[in-house]
Amino acid sequence: MLKKKTIVLGVSGGIAAFKSAALVSKLTQAGANVFVVMTESAQKFVTPLTFQALSRNYVYTDTFEEPDAEKIAHIDIADQADLILIAPASANTIAKLAHGIADNMLTTLTLAAKAPVALAPAMNVNMYDHPAVQNNMNTLRSYGYKLIEPGAGYLACGWIGKGRMAEPEDLLDLIDSLLANPTTLAGKKILVTAGPTREALDPVRYFSNYSSGKMGYAIAKEARKRGAYVTLVSGPTALNAPAGVELVDVQSAEEMYRAVTDRFNDMDVVVKSAAVADYQPEKVLSQKRKKQGNEWSVSLVKTKDTLFEIGKKKDKQILVGFAAESEHLDRYAKDKLERKNLDLIVANNITAKGAGFDVDTNIVSIFTNDNHSIDYPEQSKAETASVILDELEDYMKRRELM
């Protein structure tokens, strides 16, 4: 999506400006034409020469500096832009744009542009949480600007909390998705579940499974790329949520059930790719069980079947389920498709090499409730996510559910 696209990268004052240099490098390598616009404060952290070397373009720092006498720079660059990304976006720059203040090259250009605008805030956690900053960000959202949630962690100022600018790799993915051609899923609300659940036994032990969450995260990323509004309900994983996706962290099957059912009525599509525990301990011990005897028998009870429950009450929603099987793949998948009132089911044989848990590839068969089926060979989970959503879109078109 980035090849031959013109990206204007606005850099405002903040230590995260060094990440923007890495982003420019990645954008240029991907074939984008990158123009960097810096505020005066940004130049205190990284020099314009750095961005010029990485972008191979003139770097704009002053509204009144016109490198080409035949053009008004801030209008010319604004007109060329396919997308404007401000990263880092400081509290100061956010406030100026929210109130229409055009007192530097970056704010003047942005206010003059017709292209989509995205901002990656980066600041101290207390600044980020301040009501004025939150109000300004909400104002920008009302203008149609896209704001990329900052990460949480150790900040340069010494505080720990939310305020770290999104990583260059995540911003690259977001830019790619914002420039993607609209599809049937554009504007749809999609909920994806991913990862395992953990069913507590005592304060230090739990039952779980081998799911890594990679398949669900790949689907969430691909759906966002296609223009959907994506909510990712995730069990414990080592993965970072894709940029632009709302992440809801859960631990147990009960928590996942509540997270999905609470949001179900607002969704257009639900993709249940999580490996949810079928059983949980009947009794959870409040204290760690000490080693005693040669055996320990644990009584298990069934967890709530989220997919079955939402299948019973679905109205306009499209439901996509997963069947991870070790035998009789087609039979079990088709049975689950009918029994749980699904529209599509994605089945894979977890014993096949390249299709099990915690690997980077998958081999799937997809069945729909209008008697369509197709088998796909081994491919990456990113590629598998793409074909799953291709099949979903084809199904929506066949059933006129667009």
Residues that are catalytic: 157
Distance in angstroms (rounded) separating the CA atoms of residues 368 and 333: 10
Is residue 203 within 8 A of residue 286, CB to CB? The reply is yes
Distance in angstroms (rounded) separating the CA atoms of residues 33 and 27: 8
Residue by residue, DSSP assigns 138-178 as HHHHHTT-EEPPPEEEE-TTS-EEEEEPPPHHHHHHHHHHH
As beta bridge partners, residue 9 has 36, 85
Q: Which two tokens stand for residue 325?
A: 């099987």
CA dist 156 → 150, 152, 246 (Å): 14, 12, 25
What b/e sequence results for 173-187 when a residue is b if at least 16 CB atoms lie within 10 Å of its CB, and e otherwise? bbbbbbbeeebbbee
Report which of 201, 191, 91 is spatially closest to residue 137, judged by C-alpha positions: 91
Tokens 């089945």 — which residue? 347
Phi, psi of 258 (to 5 degrees): -65, -40
Give me the numbers of helices (H) and strands (E) for the chain, helices first please. 13, 21
Distance in angstroms (rounded) separating the CA atoms of residues 264 and 253: 16
